[in-house]
Chains A and B, each alone.
Chain A
Amino acid sequence: MQYLIQLLISGLAIGAIYGLIAMGFAVIYKSTGLVNFAQGEMTMITAYIAWTISTTVSGNVFVVALGAILAAVLLGLIIERLVMRPMLGEPVFATVMVTIGLAVILRSAINFIWDAYPHGLDIGMGRGIVHVGGIGVRTGQIAVIVTLLALLAAIWAFFRYSKVGVAMRAVAADDRTALLMGISATRVHALAWAASSVIAGIGGVFFALSYDLSPAMFQLGLKAFPATILGGLDAVLGSGIGGLLIGITENLAGGYLGSGMKEVAGFAMIIVVLMVRPFGIFGERDIERV
């Protein structure tokens, strides 16, 4: 029983990280209609920048957090402006292939800018252990779950009540009509890339906090992929919850079926989801069977 609870808690913690990155996928898919295969790499770069700030400027939590968020915004805007904007109006195949090309470039850029060795992100917190009912939990793990829940609430409110959020939903629903209503689709796209970069970047920094930074971190993007498929590619909140589910499934599979199963549990789940409910648990049913 103790073992099960332990697995569930660490599953929730890693699942929250997947959830954050999956929300990054969903934000971009919802407003631009394309799957960003470079999400994991963007996450990784934000985490590395956070690490650089913590080692060179200051290890203060607020400095690192602020710096990482600013860097993530910039990264998202630059990628949108330089790489994605020129592809506007091209077929989906071309734009998706561009994100794949981008992913490969960013991944190897890490090895050149930083190095191939693992690093620990130390900002003086997150690695302490708290005992809750006899089970040791890292403070970083609690923090990431709380952050995910807080962000879920904030994003729900943003899409529901703010003008910008409604504009984003309008562009997602029908970009032409949105254009006629005076919404600038390009700005919405830029905003979506920046937002996605920040949300996923937060997940990346939390990962670096609880585990380690290494060039293999881009695999977080692949792990978060099942989460967004499960939650629904166009469902931002659903993706967050999908992340938690994938994290738990993965940990249970790893704990009871062997470590090999842990690696593939998420991917096996993708195939099941696509067979049973291809639009995800919370996604909108607009699947075309052609």
Chain B
Amino acid sequence: MRTGDYKQTYGELVALIDSPPVWLWSTVLLLALIAAPFVLNSYALSFVMIILITVTGALGLNILTGYTGLISLGHVGFLVTGAYAYAVLVSKYHMPPLVGFLGAGLVPALASLIVGAPSLRLKGLYLAITTLAFSFIINTVILEMRWLTNGARGIQMPRPEILGISFDSDPAFTYLCLAVASLTLFATLNIRRSRVGRAFVAIRDNDTAARVMGINLHAYKLFAFVTSAFITGIAGALYGIYLSFVSVEGFPFLLSIEALAILIVGGLGSALGAVLGTILIVLLPEATRIVFSLFSAQMDATFTTGAQELKSMLYGLVIILFLRFQPRGLVGAWHDIKRAWVHWPLRY
């Protein structure tokens, strides 16, 4: 049992994994996820895929909102640009999927540079406003550029074949999602503990102090925004492949809200929080449906007819309740429970 934190070097303070039990549990989780496609039926497996894809997107937004403290209401815009970039490169111009994924990251990153450069000079909610505007503009742009995007008809997105390995079947595609999600997780954890990540957190906590310490605020905010858009774009490409079809309707504005709900529910600024939040938010509508259907068949019927509305209502409620009663999210709740367990019966 751990009896305390014994850290003697700076290296230990920023270590990725600081204790053997965390190693153990991470390995167990990874093995469980690798075994999942063999054990689960296809319905449950689709949830695993959605969770892995959503984790990637949520981690992307976490860099911006969690680490740097900037709100984006238009991340769905980067999802849809990423998906379209991949679809155009791979389905239309028959490029290899790896180039497609690179494009799915770079095109949204470029878009974020254009949106971010003017709006990040200012403090406050201006980024939320411009990103909101961006997510609506990009939909119109996609619909208008018919020669490239097929307009409202959308583009088919077949499952890719990378380096000779086909990801056509559900289990194989789950592994692809798992690989991307784990890579993103490592990338964001490493960003967080690097000089850049510490600069992000400094900007979030006190921007004036950060400026005094010599952090170039505009450059670092822009960097956070571009990185976030890059990762979100790749998540968008994966989501498009999962849907096997990309169109503007496949990426409703609700996804932006869902992403913010995930971060708030999980706990802002924590990679673990993004993962926990994703699991809760993705499974919440399904769990509610099951609970309601226990009461009556009629309620179950309401759920199928008004699924989208109930989903958004749940997200709204979860956002408000968590902000009101548990602003540190699930991660905060977990820390409180651990502390209570160790110190019981004393308060602290």
Chain A residues within 8 Å of B, Cβ to Cβ: 35, 37, 83, 86-87, 90, 92-94, 96-98, 100-105, 107-109, 111-112, 222, 225-226, 229, 258, 260-261, 263-264, 267-268, 270-271, 274-275, 278, 287-290
Contact = CB atoms under 8 A, between A and B. Distances in A.
> Lowest 6 A-B CB distances belong to which pairs?
A101-B319, A267-B133, A104-B316, A105-B316, A108-B309, A101-B316
A271 B119 contact: yes
Contacts of A111: 306, 309
Contacts of B123: 287-290
Contact of A271 (B128, B133, B261): B133
A290 B129 contact: no
Contacts of A100: 73, 257, 260, 316, 319
B277 to A, nearest CB: 13
Nearest to A104: B316
B136 interface: yes
Nearest to B318: A101
B254 interface: yes
Contact of A112 (B115, B133, B306): B306
A287 B122 contact: yes
A290 B136 contact: no
Given A96-B125, A100-B257, A260-B144, A108 B323 contact: no
A112 B118 CA distance: 40
Given A107-B312, A108-B313, A222 B136 contact: yes
**Prevailing SS type, chain B contact patch:** helix
Given A270-B129, A290-B207, A97 B309 contact: no
B309 A274 contact: no
Contacts, number: 124
5 contacts: A100-B260, A108-B310, A261-B140, A274-B118, A290-B207
A129 to B, nearest CB: 31
A258 B140 CA distance: 11
Nearest to A107: B312
B319 A268 contact: no
A270 B144 CA distance: 20
Contacts of B73: 37, 100
B129 A264 contact: no
B66 to A, nearest CB: 11
Interface in B191-225: 207-208, 211, 217
B133 A260 contact: no
Given A97-B264, A270-B129, A274-B126, 20 more contacts: A35-B125, A90-B327, A96-B125, A101-B323, A105-B316, A105-B317, A108-B313, A111-B306, A225-B132, A225-B133, A260-B140, A260-B144, A267-B133, A268-B133, A271-B115, A275-B118, A288-B122, A288-B123, A288-B124, A289-B122
Contacts of B207: 290
Interface of B: 69, 71, 73, 115, 118-119, 121-126, 128-130, 132-134, 136-137, 140-141, 143-144, 207-208, 211, 217, 254, 257, 260-261, 264, 306, 308-310, 312-313, 315-320, 323-324, 327
B132 A101 contact: no
A274 B217 contact: no
A289 B126 CA distance: 12
Specify which of B69, B261, B306, B312 lies most central, judged by the most chain A CB atoms within 10 Å of its CB.
B312
A104 B254 contact: yes
Contacts of A86: 324
Specify which of A101, A112, A225, A288 lies most central, judged by the most chain B CB atoms within 10 Å of its CB.
A101
B119 A274 contact: yes
Nearest to B313: A108
A283 to B, nearest CB: 12
A103 B121 CA distance: 28
A226 B128 CA distance: 13
A81 to B, nearest CB: 14
Given A94-B327, A108-B309, A290-B208, A102 B130 contact: no
A102 B316 contact: yes
A217 B237 CA distance: 31
Given A83-B320, A97-B323, A260-B143, A229 B129 contact: yes
A103 B260 CA distance: 14
A270 B129 CA distance: 8
Specify which of B126, B128, B318, B320 lies most central, judged by the most chain A CB atoms within 10 Å of its CB.
B320
A87 B323 CA distance: 9
Contacts of A226: 133
B312 A222 contact: no
A267 B125 CA distance: 15
Contacts of B122: 274, 278, 287-289
Contacts of B137: 264, 267-268
